[in-house]
Amino acid sequence: MSDELSLEKLDTFEGRRGPLLVVVADGVGVAPEGAQNAVTEADTPTLDRLTTADGRATTLLAHGPAVGLPSDDDMGNSEVGHNALGAGRIFAQGAKLVNAALASGSLYESPVWADAMKAGRQGTLHLLGLHSDGNVHSHTDHLYQLIERAAEEGVERIRVHILLDGRDVAARSALDYIAQTEQALQKACEHCLVESGHDADYRIASGGGRMTITMDRYEADWPMVKRGYDAHTHGIGRAFASATEAVETMYAESDAGDQYLGEFVIHDADGPIGRMTDGDAVVFFNFRGDRAIEITQAYEGDESFSAFDRGEHPDVYYAGMLQYDGDLQVPANYLVDPPDIDRTMGEFCVAEGLRSFAISETQKFGHVTYFWNGNRSGYLDEALETYVEIPSDNVEFNLTPAMKLYEITERTIEMLRSGDYDWGRLNFPNGDMVGHTGDLDATIQAMRVLDECMARLVEVIDELGGVLIYTADHGNADIMFTEVDGERSPKTSHTLSPVPFAIHDPGYAGEYRVVGHDDAGLSNVAATVLNLLGFAAPEDYRDTLLEF
């Protein structure tokens, strides 16, 4: 065993005879009670008991600097949340890394930027990404800075392909962002004319809702990626004269939020204005990885790419804002280095020979594996670990608020009772995925199902003499709408709320107590898990939440 990854046994606590289970209730934050709070509006007797247990419950920070994001105004998300849970320390994350690279100018000094600008000057620079300032997957400020710099470097033709948000921002806010982007494009065009004396052609070329095109994850819906690829690349989609006209038309046709609007393509007298051709540059400006991987593979894949028919696939220079998967090397070209997360809790457990499992459905499977393991694909040690993925349904999740919780619970109970594992972790995704739909009633039902499944897990932990930890990765279901002058507006984004942390331990005899403190966050969980397994945490880990 590597000395670097070895752990010392605790003198004060040797662990329990049964397995330890970590339950991450995705998107279940802690906020004041009220009609807007699906968590407290639901009947959840099991969760109520867990989160009010004397000496064994507290709340944790799950947003902003506590999870490596720039400021307290930045919502947490599942990716940085699971990074923090698994790493035991705080690492600078996506938006913070990009902000620093833009502020220092290091982004523009990279050979990848130079190659993208060379291709853009010879052809067209295409900028593709989530079009909002939600700061979860992307930020429009980053887009505008890229546009401004490209103009300074002599790029005469830019096409922006926008993925409408309505999930991490207000449900129908697309028109505001379109107006801001068109203003930024016009300003950059004027800069080109003044500074270099040449006309520039900068326009929005295609778009669609983030849950309809392009931004699938975990290979749940490749046809969704194809719809986006075809619109951005080949100009295939519903034709409009402008992005504003496209959104206004679709608003009039249904009550759907921005994230569910169909694909559209901007046409002029000559047809689609943004078709990609050989030699163009494509920069995907999202910084978060999960929903960037598949579209990246579609652009980077050679003739062996088989997820869908790409038609006449152009030979473009493709770059991502960050590298989205370090093991898969996706993308090959990227502008900002991702966080280097080492010495994760999982690595220490493997080094100690502990047997573990990780389970969720497709929508959150990567969170309890890839993100938990420090952005690393695959097993750390296949002989000691079991990863179980329950396939998600391709439906709007408010139609199936239980999602796959029953299936996850059944398979978890089987693994717990098998005696083959020292510890396991699972993600229950429905608080987040149903919460994102803005459907309050469905989210309340989702919480009821979550409580029902938690009751079964608690019963099995009692049976086996183990320990259960209940927590979450960020808020969402805890604030489902805002209200101004009596008018409610659905809130589909994450929240700034803290999250619950509770321990259920049927063998508890007062050996420890949970100690909350002002800056306690998700990164404090790893040391706590190691303690409950009978080990002292590494010295550089954030403090345990336990006082023995």
CB burial readout 159-191, b (16+ within 10 A) else e: bbbbbbbbbbbbbbbbeebbebbbebbeebbee
Q: From CA 10, how far away is CA 7, in angstroms rounded?
A: 9
Tens of pLDDT, residues 200-238: 999 999 999 999 999 998 789 999 999 999 999 999 999
Kindly write down the DSSP assignment for every residue of 368-413, as one continuous string: IIIITTTS--S-S-TTTEEEEEEPPPSS-GGGSTTTTHHHHHHHHH
The pLDDT of residue 1 is: 42
Nearest 5°: the CA angle 16, 7, 533 is: 15
43: left (phi over 0), alpha (psi -120 to 50) or beta: beta
Q: Which pair of tokens denotes residue 317?
A: 């220079």
Whether omega before 70 lies within 30 degrees of 0, making that bond cis, reads: no
pTM given for the model:
0.81
User: CA 167 to CA 71: how far, in whole Å?
Assistant: 20
> Within a 13 Å sphere around the CA of 374, how many CA atoms are in the beta-carbon half?
17
Predicted confidence band of residue 290 (pLDDT cuts 50, 70, 90): confident
Q: Are 446 and 401 in contact (CB under 8 A)?
A: yes
Catalogue all structural domains in the chain, each as residue range(s) with its CATH number: 18-93+340-547 (3.40.720.10), 95-336 (3.40.1450.10)
Q: What is the pLDDT of residues 80-132, one digit of tens each?
A: 999 999 999 999 998 999 999 999 999 999 999 999 999 999 999 999 999 99
Kindly report, residue by residue over 154-180, the tens digit of the pLDDT: 999 999 999 999 999 999 999 999 999
DSSP letters, 407-458, are: HHHHHHHHHHHHT--SEEEEEE-HHHHTGGGT-HHHHHHHHHHHHHHHHHHH
CA 30, 542, 412: angle at the middle one, nearest 5?
A: 60
> Which residue type, as a one-letter code, is found at position 304?
S
Closest CA to 354 of 73, 9, 111: 9
Question: How long, in residues, is the chain?
Answer: 548
- Show which residues are catalytic: 78
Which string of b and e fits 241-269 if b means at least 16 CB within 10 Å?
Answer: eebeebbeebbeeeebbbbbbbbbbbbee
Say if CB 472 and CB 517 are below 8 A apart: no
Residues 212, 176 contacting (CB under 8 angstroms): no
Per-residue pLDDT at 327: 59
DSSP letter for 262, please.
P
pLDDT of residue 353: 98
pLDDT in tens, 442-494: 999 999 999 999 999 999 999 999 999 999 999 999 999 998 888 898 998 89
pLDDT at site 337: 85
